[in-house]
Amino acid sequence: MPIIYEPAGKAREYSELAANLYTGCSHACIYCYCPSIMRRTLKDWSDSPHARTNILDQFERDAKKATPEMKEKELLLSFMSDCYQNSESAFLTRRILLICEKYNFKKVNILTKAGFRAVKDFDILQRNKGWKFGSTIIFRNEELREHWEPGAPSIQSRYEAIKIAKEKGIYTWISIEPVVDIEEAMKVISDMYNYCDFFKVGKLNHMKEVEDKINWHNFYLLVTEALKNKPNLIKKDLLKFA
């Protein structure tokens, strides 16, 4: 099974290609969909994250085989876990980025909650002008972050990493997904509007008790007004409430 693959379904809205370097994620986000996909409990998923077997060799094998057409497509790191969740994953991610550079991938895109841990790799992103740095940020409030994302770095760390990337001329973006609190999502947009080149916004799914308490149509109106002059992607699940 290849490490570099073409996502299907909802994930396709985010990227044409992806690579998942890790199994499990120490961030232990309550809303994470990955444990159910892998038929594991959240505790099991978050307690024992580990790199996929021979990940560097397998990734380089795929990169070497990639066609010129594939190398023009955006490659996201990653969907199923955070590629900077700990020091080991950060080490592996830098090696992966260097492999992407070696084989001339044009559009590598990082998505992480790890904040400062990713900053040391900004030298690679600066050298590759089509590459992007993104962070998942759905709250400003740190108490909410501690409840929903107990193992993840602070919001301030993520804010500052985006700002540093922007200062270095790196394309920046924020994923506000899944939205679990409308006011908090709007605060993130307000806080980071001038530091982001792009916003991606999507609703919460698979948690009906929380979903049903949110007026999604109202949120759609608020977010489209706030982002009317900023490049953005509103996910299809939220567009249904237009």
Question: pLDDT digit string (tens) for 173-226?
Answer: 999 999 999 999 999 999 999 999 999 999 999 899 999 999 999 999 999 999
Share of the chain residues as helix, strand and coil, in percent rounded to the nearest 5: 45, 15, 35
List domains and CATH numbers for the chain: 4-239 (3.20.20.70)
Give the pLDDT band of residue 232 (cuts 50, 70, 90). Answer: very high
Count of helices and strands (H, E) across the chain: 12, 10
Average of per-residue pLDDT across 18-37: 92
* d(C-alpha 164, C-alpha 169), whole Å: 9
pTM value?
0.94
For 115, other C-beta atoms within 10 Å of its C-beta total 22
Q: Which range (11-20, 27-36, 76-85) has the least confidence?
A: 11-20
Average of per-residue pLDDT across 11-31: 89
Give Cα 38 to chain centroid, integer Å: 19
Q: Helix, strand, or coil here: 177? A: strand
pLDDT for the residue 10: 66
* d(C-alpha 29, C-alpha 156), whole Å: 17
* d(C-alpha 212, C-alpha 51), whole Å: 37
